[in-house]
Amino acid sequence: MRKTLIALAAVLAASVAMPAAAQIANDDDTLALAGLLDNNSFDRAQLMIANQIQYWQPVFDTLLVQAPDGSIEPNLATEYSYNESNSVLSLTLREGISFTDGTPFDAEAVKANLEYLAIGGGQNSFMAQSISQIEIVSPTEVTLHLGEPDPSLLQNLSSVGGAMASPANLGVEGSANNPIGSGPYIYDEAASVGGRQYVYNRNPDYWNADQYPFERVTITPINDLVARLNAIKSGQVDAGAGEASTVADAQANNLDTHANPVNWMGLTIADRGGEIVPALADVRVRQAINMAFDSAAILEFLQLGYGRLTDQIFPDTAASYRQELDAVYDYDPEGARALIAEAGYPDGFTVNMPELSGFANLNPVVAQQLAEIGITVEWTTIAPNATIPELRSGRYPIFLLPFGYQGDWAELTKFALPGSPWNPVGYEDPELLAMIEEAQYAVGDAQDAKYQEINTYLVDNAWFAPWYRPDQIYHTNGAVDVAVQAGNAVPFIRNYTRQQ
């Protein structure tokens, strides 16, 4: 493994890639960013999070905002409060705001945006689908009635769920390429070239201009890692995503490096009921799998040590997080073999796992370390364009895939319910479901305590076998500084400042 990684590093180091040419050159008044991915769409129903969130944030302001630490703060909604049962959310809207086409921002605009998102068919349409009724109390007051409590709603309203586009532009032909919002910047369609560079000029009427110190924002999609680093070093752009392999080069060229542990890497043990592999129904077997991997060595060799070891899927910014759950399972192949024998499988057993081309360097590690505890892996090759459907098909008892974090409640709805998209075998645990229902209806400290109880249950019962949280590396030059955003691959636009 070490020789393979060293050889790969040498090839990467020898590669020369030129940054993409910019239409609008960088200068002291510009925040110039390199995007890892291109923009998908400006259509309000199709907006994305993660790497693509930066494309729409300059234009579309949100009802609430997330601080860099993930805490929720007022924004276009100046006040917000739930009723006692958490089934009704009341919003008070900021007065005197207009979209840049002159349409007023008011309760009607909020209603139009939320309804458009809910039926728009986008990946994040779920962020508005817990709302059963939108009641307009007055031009500056909106009441959202929920079918049942949605603990992630406030966070959703600080992201795609709360993005506000001009109602006059919703669904209009061309809106996917020319967004109209009330945010800190106005999209410059004439200066922008899709796939090459997106240009945004300051909105002179924006209510919170001091939060955004730059006169202009440009975003240049640069998919190639070497080209992206070269663009930052040359000053073509001020900031962009890197990797562990770029840190030494960046530091040698006086760039600043920011680390943000966004995802977790490891195995999902999907067949917890033993429907495909009966052995996996025994918690001792699942615990043994957690003990099979030398996570520290994997982190060092594959991420050059940039990351932190963990046995839980929740990051330290989550209410569910408990520090002691980062170190529950030691690397102990002998102890793992003993647990598997104790569970009635002294000769081991075989599992079928999907072989994903994106993790070609990790598949041999998985097979070798599972073999050491008596588990034989048989691989099924998966086409790259079929990865997600295959993993969600319910055919694989265990699979390797990194996952991000979208909030305490969002993680439970993603993994833990019988119909969750990433509970592909449909495993149902009545004890866990009872705890989840209690968390859904709890508030404040009581809800946080219940989240931690659920997290402990997931770790003790080995629903997953996490290895580590790799650091998401982000580089900036000497012109700007930035605060990384908890839970997101890249910083939010409001997190950038001029370097003092």
Give the CATH number for residue 203: 3.40.190.10
Nearest to 266 by CA among 241, 242, 302: 302
| pLDDT tens profile 74-127 | 999 999 999 999 999 999 999 999 999 999 999 999 999 999 999 998 889 989
If one counts the domains in the chain, the total is 3
Q: Is residue 169 part of a domain?
A: yes
* 238 and 170 share one domain: no
> Is the pLDDT confidence value at 357 over 90?
no
Q: What is the pLDDT, as a whole number, of residue 146? A: 97
| Residue 53 located in a structural domain | no
Q: How confident is the model at residue 3 (pLDDT cuts 50, 70, 90)?
A: very low
Q: Is 7 domain-assigned?
A: no
- Cβ neighbours of residue 203 closer than 8 Å, sequence gap 6 or more: 100, 182, 183, 184, 185, 186
For residue 328, is pLDDT > 90? yes
Residue 75 lies in a domain: yes
pLDDT at 1 over 50: no
pLDDT at 22: 54
> Do 377 and 476 belong together in one domain?
no
CA distance 447 to 496: 33
Let me know whether 288 and 423 are in one domain: yes
Task: Quickly tell me which residue has 């050889």 as its tokens.
Answer: 7
Q: Give yes or no: residues 166 and 217 share one domain.
A: no
**Residues 457, 353: one domain?**
yes
Please check whether residues 143 and 212 belong to one and the same domain.
Answer: no
In a domain, 6, yes or no: no
| Domain identity same for 235 and 377 | no
Q: Using a pLDDT cut of 70, give the percent of the chain over it.
A: 96
pLDDT of residue 121: 87
Q: At residue 4, does pLDDT exceed 60?
A: no
Same domain, 251 and 285: no
Is pLDDT above 80 for 14?
Answer: no
State the Cα angle at 175 between 169 and 176, rounded to 5°.
145
Domain span including residue 196: 20-39+183-261+471-500
**CATH number of the domain within which 100 lies:** 3.90.76.10
118 and 99 in a common domain: yes
pLDDT at position 249 = 97
Same domain? 273 vs 221: no
In a domain, 1, yes or no: no
pLDDT tens-digit map of 240-276: 999 999 999 999 999 999 999 999 999 999 999 999 9
Q: Are residues 313 and 365 in the same domain?
A: yes
161 and 85 housed in the same domain:
yes
Does the predicted TM-score (pTM) go above 0.85? yes
